[in-house]
Amino acid sequence: MAKKVIVVDDLDGSERDVVTHRFAIDGEYYEIDLCPQNLQDLRAALEPFVRAARRVRKGRGNHPEPTATTLEVVRSRPVSEFSREQRVAIRSWAREHGYDVADHGRFPTEVLTAYQEAQEDYQEAQG
């Protein structure tokens, strides 16, 4: 028996020409189902920010496939801002947690974000 899946717009409940769109901000990824008009409204709302932003090429990591609505706020820092001990600790932690990191160079944003969050969680748990 065949089943029919109806995708409903997450904003207005419409069912016509609804497509799932993926976007990211602050390292968190989201999906939203939108009809063409609501997608146009989303793009119009983001347009001033996208126009002022720098385009980033797809890099390594566990990012979803980029789409026309992909937006990620990058919080990368040069490796030189970390001590040697910090660099070793970050790379070791990243590898232990399944991240692909190079032996040299910048850390991927998702690695820094996850590492910082893990450190904050650890500090909160310690008191």
Residue range(s) defining the domain that contains residue 121: 79-126
63 & 101 share domain: no
103 & 120 share domain: yes
**Where does 48-87 show beta strands of DSSP type E?**
none
Report whether pLDDT(102) > 80: yes
Tens-digit pLDDT profile for residues 27-85: 788 888 899 999 999 999 988 988 888 776 655 444 444 444 443 333 445 556 778 88
35 & 48 share domain: yes
Both tokens of 79, joined, read 């490796």
Q: How far apart are CA 112 and CA 118, in angstroms?
A: 10
Percent of the chain at pLDDT exceeding 70: 75
Question: What does pTM read for this prediction?
Answer: 0.44
37 & 87 share domain: no
36 & 92 share domain: no
Structural contact between residues 8 and 35, judged by C-beta atoms closer than 8 angstroms: no
Q: How far apart are CA 96 and CA 122, in angstroms?
A: 16
Task: Specify the range with the lowest mean pLDDT, choosing from 4-8, 10-14, 43-47, 96-100.
Answer: 4-8
Contacts of 8 by beta carbon, 8 Å cutoff, 6+ apart? 14, 15, 18, 33
